[in-house]
Structure 1
């Protein structure tokens, strides 16, 4: 009721509002009011705010616009669009050096990365968000950060750690009256308790979440809590509780048709209705609900598995063994698909464990053999033990000297290789710069002079129409040659890199690639403005990113890519991810292509580390860590 009054008050103020920044803030406030209950209205007011923002050129309010967009597309579960708004919000916060806005953007980005299953990026951003939130002593958002960390550890299967952070979030949410942080923390703490077999504790927390969501009119949290409580009731075989939750869930969905409830949540309703009918021996109704649920669960293997398991139970209860057997075959085939990746991981882990145990057994045998030989030597040699010890020590000393000498030779070879690589890269950079300058200033100036002379001659010549047309074509070809020469010169040494630095050059490069239509590239930098890089290092990093993006365009068949540079302590992290067809990382070691060799040589030159993660049709993620000295 209080929220409705607030919304009505804002709507009442809108017609008389002047066309200024206060009206922009009013429109964005309406987005926040509607985002939980009416996403269509929220989207309308978001578009209206952008029109006025652009008209007034109110650049400093664009962060608030992007941040409202994050909320809207997170509510509708369009996480790709939420990511686009999030990166722009972070860019705006850094541009105006607003640490509070930056912390908000990092916390939101952390949640978006979790929903996009980008765990490595989520972990990086999580620590940055927590550090900045604590630095700002932001007691309102601290519970949200704890709740999000709880969710991250739940996703990673570290349930005890998820409960630890979740309880911190619950305490902080109650202490500082942070509704969002409290709801997130309750949900993730409850889920982790259920995974650990503590159903009663989980149910208690879900009920607390449900009451809080009802009290504050948050439909998504109401539905989420009722779904989780229904699952607990099914697992516990509590027909009374399931009947209550199922009835409550159906009534709530029916009475809130415009609420932003995720379609993925609605798909579970037939499953719960089916179990509810089964518990009360209404077998035909249960089967009908399960079959209806199958129609909307074709792309959700987990839900399909649960529905087929329900149909198996119904069929056995009805003594229809033939149908039960058919449903079991369906269930087994889906379960096989779901377990395929887990089995592959298990086999790898089992192989590692076997090899480890085998080596330990061999080591124990070797130790036993050595002990036996030592005893035999003491018995047979006796007085010669001292002399033997001297010989052994001398031999070991000789071996150590040999090892030290070999180590020094290896170090010298490595240093020589690095020196050669540095010379090649510097020579290449200098030659590129010289050629770019000669092309732009020398050949470019000559071609521009020729164009000017031809245009001057044109006014003084009398030509036939055919000759005039040929003359115009020649001038056009000359103009195209000048443009092509400038493009080649820019690729050899980007002007933005020399004049404005690595951050601007990479931003321009990613924008150019996106505008070309070959690949949509999102660029993000965190903390790069606080670091001064030598030009040789900046050029090398630029070439690495350029080569990786070019490889993505040529080989990955990707639609989107992300380039991120972040500074943490004395380490510069470069991440390039795409949503392409993936690659076989093992084959890169045998690659004879000059492109990948150039990337490895440049990383070696910068004393960096390289990590590549890729899977078939799941894209590729390249992480490069470079020390800042």
Structure 2
């Protein structure tokens, strides 16, 4: 015994010198500082005391119990049920973690009654679930499963998905105790990775600890070690000494199995130190048993015997039968290695008897599952009966409501008809508005084109009547001057001849511009003659051969405004061909029928990509489209790089009406 205590003391001193200092709990310090300010015995002090109980549960469980006693007394005096329920569940958790299982169950049951009186069924489910956890810790698996199922039924009705998953995780603990590790792993993973779960440091650390246990049984061991270390890191960062002690114990047992004895001694020493600090009797007993197994592996059976004896005494005190069984098995092995075979046989027989008791109780879980299935089926039968009664009532209600529904349907139809009429009226208004807008657009385009044509005529008339007359007078004056000077002056004759030639050239240029602005052929002989006249005046040295074909258009002239617009469009298209197409042949067809006039301008030039035209390059084509819109017609462009261009103009001869002069 002395050697074991000395060894534990040395490990504890080494850990105290190497371990990082425990982080201070800022919230606990704040709550402790505020407690003297809440001296008035009211519900605020009860709530504050409960908060202090929770923050002290791991770091100072004895103070937590004193604060809980004060909160209970004040809550009973004030008849403050909600505060009492909180006090009972917090104190029950502390009792459970310190191995005082009977007191824990009593407090959880008190909490259940207070929550039921308040109508808080989710709180009732939580208290029942805590009772199941205590029963599982004692090894009463049949009772624990029945209690968990009872809590789960309430959670499914009143709880949240997260609380349901937590209950299923508790069932995973039972599966672990029964040796069904794969099922336990599935439940524990489901809790840790629950979508939408609110993160909680204590619960996350517990989940990693449980997963470490599962992987320690199933493998691989590296996964178990990872989860144990995760649990240690999270619980240490949040001063959760109870969970840190459990995780250190699990890690130590894993290291013993892997024969890493030095690291195992450190982990188990830390677990024992933390469990003692928070008065966690169950974890302390487990750590003592694990240290006994470590000493046996190091061939120190006497020291191991002392550790198992302490674990046995502690397990019997807290009624933890799994701990007692492990301690008895360890004592049997320790005595056998010391040659005390009689004592070893006695402990082995006690171990077998206790193991059989646990197995018999575990086997009753199948009966419990059958009972649960029976209850489920019975509830389903009751549900079917209630559903049949409900259907009969619904049929009666449907008969009574038939007239009301019919009236509602008629009202809905009338409302729908009114809506359709309203929609139809709105559509008619929209169509009328669109027609008016299009009419205004046509009038605006007509006004612009008419103003443009009038301006052309005015400029042409001014050039012909004004500048043309002036050039004629200048020519006459030069002829008169030539006659006055007479022959015999060669220098003067050359100058006069040059001046007369310039005046003639200017006269022809002004006459050409005037005719382009106001072609006489268009006015006197119609569109086809004007187009031919315009093409005849094109330069003959550009290598372009132009052919004009007119069908049904010579005999009957078009309306003047249509002739003028089409002539300008053809001019624009021919000028584009000369400038850009590099064509050698152009064919212009004018075909008039009773309903429309079709003009086709086709060249054999290089063509172009109509979609890729830049904005400033396509101005002429947009002008063509605008003028055709004014006439109520349309322009179609067919072109591609390398195969020429064809422009087709279609103008109706009945609409739109000619604009007023």
Q: TM-score, normalised by structure 1?
A: 0.47
TM-score (normalizing by structure 2): 0.45
Which protein is bigger by CA-based radius of gyration? 2
